[in-house]
Structures are given as structure tokens and as C-alpha cells.
Amino acid sequence: MTVPPGLDLTADAVTLTRQLVDIESVSRNEQEIADAVEVALRALPHLTVTRRGNTVVARTSLGRGSRVVLAGHLDTVPINANLPSRLEDGILHGLGTCDMKGGDAVILRIAATVTEPVHDLTFVLYECEEIDSRFNGLRLLSESDPELLVADFAVLMEPSNAVVEAGCQGTLRVDVRTRGERAHSARSWRGVNAIHGAAGVLQRLQAYDARMPVIDGLEYHEGLNAVGISGGVAGNVIPDECVVSVNYRFAPDRSEEEALAFVTEFFAPYDVTLTDSAPGALPGLDRPAAKAFIDAVGGPDGRVNPKFGWTDVARFTTLGVPAVNFGPGDPTLAHKQEEHVPVEQIERCEQELRTWLTTGVAEEEESG
């Protein structure tokens, strides 16, 4: 195992972001970047490092009275003519700059330089967040080594414009299937066209009125959309089946079971098959740990936004660990070809986390 040239945890966070971006790590191809991260972290004597697959965990053991997790995924969506990285006028461009190697760089900088934090720290850099949940490194870690994720609070460094984003919406995907009867297309009246039958499914989606509940003072915005359609047998055959793939993004006041019940009823009497599901996470702004974090990094107005996309905040919530999203980058740029991140946000996230994690160390030591 070797560290790719230039992966240096003493470099500033922007330089480190570029180094990470330039290691291609599309989902299921994270070995090179995980190798680099593991070797770099093992060189730090104050951390104990564990690796599971292409997920790397590093922990302090300072005997503090509380523990905080900083987590980020190492994978990206597929390349779209947006590598290598480039820096122009204070903006870093390239695949993963926003989602979420800027956040990963901040995690690594904190891991390398904050050696006497107020809390014990756990750093988790994991694989396969961008694809089906069965591959998700954080999920697999919670099953194989749940003790590594025990904590009092977690910060998931997903892009949030360097503002706290609370909770997250859940997501599920279903296949809505229409059925017909095959026939020769020259005698189409002797069959039933399943693709034509899907028009009713699309009409319902077109007429969908999004639910927008307010939870802990934050307004969420649900979405129900076709994301794929398939059908057809041959160019001269009336198709007997058509499948519309639908993604439902549901507010965190609904469980996965309630979300599936809604979608099933919405499309009744069509055949609905669940293909993937992950729960949302309530904001939890009433939790003391969340309040303390918001007070520290929320700025003078304590601004907090709702998280519309699904993130692994939901997994921490399931484990009983209060968690928020907080990282550099505009989440609306995630997965876009023009993905980029302002240098200022990377630097600000690092500084605010550093201040939060070190404030009070001197007083704690003096009182001891």
C-alpha cells in the first residue's frame, strides 16, 4: 500500500481537497483513496486506526467525558469530464469538490492537527454512499463494528453551504408496473399496449401536489418523480409490460412504512414494488448537543436550514446519536458537471470546527 503523491495532512485544507479530488473514487472504486487516507492517518500517533473494506475509522482515546464523530464519504458519482481539479478566482472546480471531498479534507485536517480536543473524536471516511444503501460503508460499519460509532454527537460533512442543515428527508424507490397483452404491431387491436397504459401513471405524477410540512420550525419539501421508464419487446411487438421507476423523497415526520403506504395508495390499483428505501431523520434541534453546536457555528443569527436530500444523518439517528449536516459546498451543485466549492467555505468550516472542538480545553485541564 502506498500513499498517492502529495497526500499530505500538513497541507492546508484547500490543497488537501485538490489532492483528494484528483484521486478518482467513483463508487465501488475507492480502494486507492482509502489506501491513501489509511496510511496518512496511521502516521498520526494520537489516533487508533481501523479499516473495514474501503472505510477508514480513526479515534482518539483521551478519556474525555464525551465523544464526537466527524464523518464523510469518499466516493463520488461517475466522472463527467470534470477531472482533474482546477482552482480559479477562489473557486475550486472538479468532481467531488462539493460532494464531498472539501468536507473530507476538513475532517483530515482536524484529525491531524487537533490533538487536544474538548471531546474524544472519531473520524469516519467511508465508501459507497452514492449508490444503493446495501453497499453503504457507514451502514456496513454499524453492523460489523457498532462500537466504533458510539458517540454523543455527530457531524456529517455533507455540503450545506457551511451552514447547519438539520435532519434529512427519507428516500424510497418503487417500480410501478403496467401490464398488457402482446400482439403483432400490424394487428395492435388484438393486444393491449402496456406502455400506453403507463400514461395514467405519468398523469398522476404530473398532477402531484408536494407536501411541505413544518418540523421544528423548518419547512421540508417532499418530491415524487419518475426517474426511469422501461418497456418494449421488439419493434414489431405490442409490449405486455412497462415499468416506471419512481423516487419519493419524504419528510422526516413519516416513517419508511408510512411513505410506502402513501405511494402504494397514490398509484392504486397499479402494481407497486419497493426497490430501495432509507429513513429520514428528524431535526432534533431540541437535543442539547445540537443546540451547543448551532450556538458555536451558526453565526449571530443561529441560522439552520432543513436538509432536503437524504444523508447518513439518518443512520446516526437510528443509532441514537444526534447528528447534523455541516460542510462546504452548495448542495444544489452535487452531481452536476460544473460542481465546485468556494475556497472560503472550506477554510471557514475548518476554522469553526477547530474552535468548537478546542474551546474550553485549557479550562478543563486547569479544573482537573
Q: Indicate which residues carry an active-site annotation.
A: 75, 129
Judge whether 170 and 310 are in contact, CB under 8 Å. yes
Closest CA to 323 of 157, 155, 146: 155
Judge whether 326 and 165 are in contact, CB under 8 Å. yes
- Give the Cα separation of 331 and 346 in Å (integer): 14
Q: Which residues contact 35 (CB under 8 A, 6 or more apart)?
A: 1, 2, 3
- Give the Cα separation of 230 and 240 in Å (integer): 12
Q: Which residues contact 260 (CB under 8 A, 6 or more apart)?
A: 172, 174, 274, 277
- Give, as one character, the DSSP assignment of residue 98: I
Q: What angle do CA 228, 246, 126 make, to 5 degrees?
A: 90
Judge whether 215 and 166 are in contact, CB under 8 Å. no
**175 Ramachandran zone, left/alpha/beta (phi>0; psi -120 to 50):** beta
- Give the Cα separation of 315 and 313 in Å (integer): 5
